[in-house]
């Protein structure tokens, strides 16, 4: 019974992840609309399952890692960059992105689904469009705070 539920969750996760680029020959990330992102709808659909595995990881040890691996493999298998950047390790990039997405999902679940699926999809679009390397950050860390 539990294995059937897990398979259903993973199958639906895969379908939801692929929704923005389903039946498209090319997929331009900058043109993606929040309305095409279905991964948060997936989590909402399984709103009894996700809190259980996130709040009580001992129930299904390693399941969060399994979810990350599924997302990572989808990114590696399905999405080939048109502009090859040979300095970026694709495996590391896919891991980084899958853990970031799972991090958003975990925080949303931990907040007891405080935000709508639409809001979460919009936030994902904003985060993806942000280029943190080009940002200037004001730090609150100084030598004095380190010694305190």
Residue-level pLDDT at 29: 80
CATH number of the domain that residue 90 is part of: 1.10.357
pTM, 2 dp: 0.84
Cα separation values, 34 from 62, 63, 130, Å: 30, 27, 15
pLDDT tens for residues 93-131? Answer: 999 999 999 999 999 999 999 999 999 999 999 998 887
Task: Show the domain range for 71.
Answer: 2-147
Sign of CA dihedral 70, 98, 19, 51: positive
pLDDT of residue 133 exceeding 80? no
What's CA 146's distance to the chain center, in Å? 33
Residue owning tokens 């891991």: 95
Find the length of the chain: 148
Which tokens is 61 given?
């040890």
- Between vectors from CA 79 to CA 77 and to CA 95, what angle results, nearest 5°? 70
Contact 98, 71 (CB under 8 A): yes
Give the count of domains, the chain.
1
pLDDT tens for residues 43-81? Answer: 999 999 999 999 888 888 889 999 999 999 999 998 776
Residue-level pLDDT at 111: 98
Report which of residues 134 and 8 the model is more confident about: 8
SS3 117: helix
pLDDT band at residue 146 using 50, 70 and 90 as cut-offs: low
């Amino acid at each position: 019974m539990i294995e059937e539920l897990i398979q259903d969750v993973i199958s639906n996760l895969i379908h939801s992840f692929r929704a923005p680029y389903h039946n498209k020959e090319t997929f331009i990330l900058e043109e993606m609309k929040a309305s095409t992102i279905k991964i948060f709808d997936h989590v909402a659909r399984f709103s009894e399952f996700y809190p259980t595995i996130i709040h009580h990881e001992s129930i299904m040890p390693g399941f969060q890692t399994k979810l990350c691996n599924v997302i990572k493999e989808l990114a590696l298998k399905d999405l080939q960059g048109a502009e090859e950047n040979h300095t970026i390790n694709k495996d590391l990039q896919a891991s980084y992105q899958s853990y970031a997405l799972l991090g958003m999902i975990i925080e949303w679940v931990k907040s007891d689904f405080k935000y709508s699926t639409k809001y979460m999809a919009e936030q994902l679009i904003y985060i993806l469009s942000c280029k943190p390397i080009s940002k200037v950050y004001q730090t609150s860390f100084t030598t004095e705070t380190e010694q305190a």
